[in-house]
């Protein structure tokens, strides 16, 4: 049962906070059974503990034997130290959930313990408001019970999609990095409106509602995005003019390349790591 589990976040950055916010808001796991840790930034730990009612403790003070699930949410450059540290403090029956882009479950299996239970996830920062699109892939030693636990846990922060690990890189490019693409789009829509005299706050609300409405149309209608676009595009109308400008200036190509480049970088990280021998992670080099 979820409410019996104790979980510990290794890493206290923005992604860890987004997940903690969603999990504590859902109330499925009591706050006092959630730990967040880092190596030395106690001010950050105190900030999160105060904001969400969880336990903020330095990494070396975690009650390791009591923890069921460890969630690795640090930056990739800090993962080498974390993996080395964890190996001497956990056992294979404890489950490690990684939020680190591009790092495979087999990598953790090779660098932690024989038969280590590992789950790889890719949420996005919309988990802060319970609207994440989260992908999940499990390692070969992970029990069905822990897979189901992870699915239930991350449903607290949005929708969960169990996928094959070979598809994790493209998911990362599409959904893991996806919110940033929309924020970038919104930035430039605001910029285009800035000289019109329309109130800045109202502009932002209008743009965000437009995106919400379009997303809900895709979710609730049977038509494809292409068909929905065609439905609202009258010949020689305003929408047609806007779409023509996007095409002329490479808007469609830019979006496609953004997804492909982010996915490619995720794959590169994985490939770079796999070249290092067992026991020598060298994540600092990435």
Residue 26: CB partners within 8 Å, gap ≥ 6?
A: 130, 156, 157
Give the separation between CA 282 and CA 79, rounded to whole angstroms. 9
- pTM score, two decimals? 0.84
* Boundary residue ending a domain (154, 172, 190): 172
- Residue keyed to tokens 């779409």: 243
- Do 102 and 140 have their domain in common? yes
What's the domain range around 184? 176-265
Where residue 114 sits, what CATH number does that domain have?
A: 3.40.50.720
Task: Express each pLDDT in 5-19 by its tens digit.
Answer: 899 999 999 889 988
CB contact at 8 A, 122 and 104: no
List, for residues 192-206, the tens digit of each pLDDT value: 999 888 999 999 999
Name the DSSP letter for residue 40: S
The answer to whether the CB of 265 falls within 8 A of the CB of 170 is: no
Q: What mean pLDDT do residues 258-269 have?
A: 90
Q: Would you say residue 286 lies in a domain? A: no
245 and 140 co-located in one domain: no
Residue 281 has pLDDT above 50, yes or no: no
Number of domains, the chain: 2
My answer on whether 215 and 229 are in the same domain is: yes
For residue 237, what are the β-bridge partners? none
Least confident of 3-12, 63-72, 140-149, 265-274: 265-274
Domain membership of residue 156 (yes or no) is yes
Q: Are residues 113 and 242 in the same domain?
A: no
Q: Is residue 38 part of a domain?
A: yes
Mean per-residue pLDDT for 148-160?
A: 93
Contact by Cβ (8 Å): 105, 120: yes
Gap between the Cα atoms of 91 and 203, Å rounded:
53
In a domain, 207, yes or no: yes
Which of 145, 172, 199 represents a domain boundary (last residue)?
172
- Antiparallel, parallel or unpaired: β 132-138 and 158-162: parallel
What span, in angstroms and rounded, lies between the C-alpha atoms of 263 and 166?
11
Confidence band of 274 (pLDDT split at 50, 70, 90): low
Task: Let me know how long the chain is.
Answer: 286
3-state SS record for 16-30: HHHHHHHHHHHCCCC
Domain's final residue, options 172, 202, 233: 172
């Amino acid at each position: 049962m979820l409410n019996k589990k104790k979980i510990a976040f290794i890493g206290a950055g923005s992604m860890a906070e987004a997940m903690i916010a969603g999990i504590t808001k859902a109330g499925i796991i009591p706050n006092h059974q959630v730990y967040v840790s880092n190596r030395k930034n106690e001010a950050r730990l105190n900030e999160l503990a105060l904001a969400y009612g969880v336990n903020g403790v330095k990494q070396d003070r975690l009650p390791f034997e009591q923890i069921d699930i460890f969630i690795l949410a640090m930056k990739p450059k800090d993962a080498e130290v974390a993996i080395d540290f964890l190996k001497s403090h956990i056992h294979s029956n404890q489950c490690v959930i990684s939020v680190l882009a591009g790092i495979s479950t087999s990598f953790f299996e090779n660098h932690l313990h024989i038969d280590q239970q590992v789950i790889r996830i890719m949420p996005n920062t919309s988990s802060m408001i319970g609207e994440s699109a989260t992908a999940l892939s499990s390692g070969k030693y992970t029990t069905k019970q822990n897979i189901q636990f992870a699915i239930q846990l991350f449903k607290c922060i949005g929708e969960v999609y169990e996928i094959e690990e070979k598809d994790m890189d493209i998911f990362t490019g599409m959904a893991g990095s996806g919110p940033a693409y929309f924020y970038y789009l919104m930035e430039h829509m605001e910029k285009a409106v800035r000289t019109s005299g329309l109130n800045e706050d109202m502009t932002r609300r209008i743009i965000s509602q437009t995106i919400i409405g379009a997303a809900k149309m895709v979710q609730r209608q049977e038509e494809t995005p292409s068909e929905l676009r065609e439905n609202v595009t009258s010949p020689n109308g305003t929408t047609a003019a806007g779409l023509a400008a996007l095409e002329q200036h490479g808007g469609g190509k830019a979006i496609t390349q953004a997804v492909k480049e982010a996915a490619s970088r995720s794959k590169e990280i994985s490939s770079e790591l796999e070249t290092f021998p067992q026991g020598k992670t060298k994540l600092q080099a990435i």
